[in-house]
Amino acid sequence: MRWEFGRKSSNVEDRRGGGVSGPLVGGGIGTIVLAVIVALLGGDPGAVLQQGQEQAPSDRTSSQSPRTQSTTTNDRMADFVSVVLADTEDTWGTLFRQNGENYVEPKLVLFSNSVQSACGSASAAVGPFYCPADQKVYIDLTFYQDLKYKLNAPGDFAQAYVIAHEVGHHVQNLMGISSKVRTLQRQASRAEANQLSVRLELQADCFAGIWAHHANRSRQILEEGDVEEALNAASSIGDDRLQSQSKGHVVPDSFTHGSSAQRVRWFKRGIQTGEPAQCNTFAAANP
């Protein structure tokens, strides 16, 4: 991925070196079995506050893994994240203006170990997440080690996909989609609420593809193999694949983020069409 010469965002808040103690807040909406998976999939941390107690302590393994990233590597990754964020600003700013709307840029908070957000206190174990209450994306950069080694999803474009997915949740928040989903979930059964979460997550995947489409067309950021990296990441975090790996069996009614095939399909739709209207997962009979 060609990113080194891209502009850096002014919306990055560096809180590394700090930390807070308090309850964990998840990065996703459902009861995903691995905390690092919740990290990558994103979602609404507010919803996890209601469901987090259902996760077993053994699910939160990433907080116990060794952190060996050097300061130099971390600084380079901070630059990378800043450039990707700036690129999402350019993409969504243009798309919103074309519709006569104003794109409110999210902030991105870099933290280490733990952080305080408007959605509550969060440990690095939950990984990257978006908080709609303060319109900020939070990430501990050591998460990218888990992405590479635990999820077997290496590559800078796979890392960019993580940021683009979280920004996709911000776009949903600005469009009023997230609040509507939360309202419907409060009135729904557990299975129905899970299905709404799946559609929300798949749309964020599609929005990540929208960013990749326009960023490449405008700024030629893609190199050979980049799309495959993102598709591999999307496939690696499908609910069916994760449940099979962790439990040995699959429970479709418990899916909260979509199967591997669904995640790949919706990311591909976004990157192929570049049209946000094509990302209406809520209108699809079979998302």
Residue 116: which H helix or E strand, with range? strand 114-117
Q: What is the mean pLDDT of residues 139-148?
A: 82
pLDDT bin (cut points 50, 70, 90) of residue 29 is very low
Cβ–Cβ < 8 Å for 41, 50: no
Task: Report residue 280's pLDDT band, with 50, 70 and 90 as the boundaries.
Answer: very high
Please provide the size of the chain in residues.
Answer: 287
Orientation angle between helical segments 190-219 and 260-273, nearest 10 degrees: 40
Helices (H) and strands (E) in the chain, counts: 10, 6
Task: Please say if the pLDDT value at position 276 is more than 90.
Answer: yes
pLDDT of 7:
85
Confidence band for 43, pLDDT divided at 50, 70 and 90: very low
User: What is the pLDDT at residue 124?
Assistant: 83
Pairing of strands 12-14, 129-131: unpaired
DSSP designation for 132: T
Torsion of Cα atoms, 79 then 84 then 89 then 94, to 10°:
140
Over pLDDT 90: what percentage of the chain? 37
One-letter-per-residue 3-state SS of 202-247: HHHHHHHHHHHHHHHHHHCCCCCCHHHHHHHHHHHCCHHHHHHHHH
* Per-residue pLDDT tens over the stretch 236-251: 555 554 555 555 645 5
Q: Tokens standing for 162?
A: 């993580």
Q: Which backbone phi and psi does 120 adopt, to 5 degrees?
A: 125, -175
What pLDDT does residue 262 have?
Answer: 85
Look at residue 103 and give its three-state secondary structure. Answer: coil
- The arithmetic mean of pLDDT across residues 247-273, rounded, is 73
User: Is it the case that residue 109 has pLDDT exceeding 50?
Assistant: yes
pLDDT digits (tens, 9 = 90+) for 54-85: 332 323 223 333 343 445 566 888 888 999 99
At residue 274, the 3 state secondary structure works out as coil
Average of pLDDT values for 139-160? 78
Structure confidence at residue 182 (pLDDT): 92
Instruction: Give the pTM.
Output: 0.75
Provide φ and ψ at 266, rounded to 5°: -75, -35
- The sign of the dihedral angle between the CA atoms of 51, 54, 59, 63 is positive
Per the CB < 8 A criterion, the answer to whether 48 and 38 are in contact is yes
- The confidence score (pLDDT) of residue 58 equals 26
| Residue 71: partners with Cβ closer than 8 Å, 6 or more residues away | none
Q: What pLDDT is stored for residue 39 in this prediction?
A: 40
Residue 150 confidence (pLDDT) above 60: yes
Reported confidence tier of residue 35, pLDDT bands at 50, 70, 90: very low
Confidence (pLDDT) at 11 = 96
pLDDT band at 282 (very low <50, low <70, confident <90, very high): very high
